[in-house]
Amino acid sequence: MNAPPPGRRPRFPLGLAQMGQPAGPKPAAMARPQRPLQQAVQDAARMSRPATGLGMDSDAVRARMVQRLRVDGIRDEAVLAAFGRVLRHRFVDSALATQAYEDTSLPIGLEQTISKPSVVARMLALLGDTETARARGSLGRVLEVGTGCGYQTALLAELARHVVSIERLKPLHDKARVHLDDGRGHHRIRLVWGDGRVGHGPQAPYDSIIAAAGGEDLPPAWLEQLADGGRLVAPMHEPGSRRQSLLVVDRQGDRYLRQRHETVLFVPLKSGVE
Ligand code: SAH
């Protein structure tokens, strides 16, 4: 629908404006300044899609990433299928698109990073590894803390009934909205700009809660907003140590059962919004 006219396809995906595009034909969205900024950004994103250079062969590169996740021990077929469907290169800056399917974290601006695929896959597999989730056949209603660029949000939307995702940094919240707006499953996603330490009361309780930033302690709101039979997965500092590991908490009525898993390294969970 929004395909650019032949011969005018921009060479770069998202981030065109930040790249300091030199002289040459301007993208149509930028040539009509009276249009709302949000609309223009979205159009630019849509237009750029087939021209990433990676677009044509990204299926094969993504299939290789999925194969690596399988070799690394991810057995959850739904998680693997989600990684096969969501185009990670659309969530990172164009300059980094060629690295998008490597097992590495990448900068997304404001000192934040998109997490490593293997760690995201491990956390999603842990989240779904409960009797309740298996019986339901989905992660149910999910709360995600730390939207970042929105990549994990898109994966969650493939695996859940509904996702509420909170980000404290407004520019990243806005960027995620652009990335996810025309993505599959977007009707299942609600993006919130706020402090995820207080969760999101209006849509609680959640069957699954996942955090993408590591804190010193477990915010009480997360435990309160976790549904009975639900599971929470979060990177958390080990008491008295700088080391972070994955913490899994299962709620059974008023009981919260905790397990510690492997060591990880996530950006800090901060308070307030910016
Ligand atoms: N899953 C994200 C990872 C982003 S990094 C992705 O795929 O891109 C973690 C994010 O958590 C950062 O964007 C950071 O700003 C955010 N964050 C840290 N503390 C937060 C808080 N209290 N509430 C909401 N977001 C928070």
Distance of CA 43 to CAs 4, 12, 13, 170, 181, Å? Answer: 10, 14, 11, 21, 11
* Closest C-alpha to ligand 1, atom 2: 148
Q: What is the pLDDT of residue 54?
A: 60
**Number of folded domains in the chain?**
1
Q: Is the pTM of this model over 0.85?
A: no
Asked if residue 86 is part of any domain, the answer here is no
Higher-pLDDT residue of 92, 28? 92
Q: What is the pLDDT of residue 57?
A: 74
pLDDT one-digit tens code per residue, 95-145: 999 999 999 999 999 999 999 999 999 999 999 999 999 999 999 999 999
Confidence of residue 167 (pLDDT cuts 50, 70, 90): very high
* Closest C-alpha to ligand 1, atom 18: 269
Number of H helices, E strands in the chain: 8, 9
Catalytic residues: 115
Average pLDDT over residues 231-244: 94
pLDDT one-digit tens code per residue, 14-52: 222 222 233 333 333 333 334 444 544 554 444 444 444
Burial of 190 (0-12, 13-18, 19+ CB in 10 A): middle
Asked if residue 116 is part of any domain, the answer here is yes
195 in contact with ligand 1, CB cutoff 6 A: yes
Q: What is the pLDDT of residue 187?
A: 79
267 in contact with ligand 1, CB cutoff 6 A: yes
Asked if residue 17 is part of any domain, the answer here is no
* Closest C-alpha to ligand 1, atom 17: 146
Asked if residue 38 is part of any domain, the answer here is no
Asked if residue 18 is part of any domain, the answer here is no
What is the 146 CA–ligand 1 centroid distance (Å)? 3
270 in contact with ligand 1, CB cutoff 6 A: yes
Enclosing domain of residue 240: 109-264
Percentage, residues of the chain above pLDDT 70:
78
Q: Which atom of ligand 1 is nearest to the CA of 195?
A: 23
Cβ of 70: how many Cβ atoms within 10 Å? 14
Q: What is the CATH number of the domain that holds 119?
A: 3.40.50.150
Question: What stretches of 73-161 adopt beta strand conformation (E)?
Answer: 106-109, 112-114, 141-145
Contacts with 39 (C-beta within 8 Å, 6 or more apart), sequence order: 29
Asked if residue 209 is part of any domain, the answer here is yes
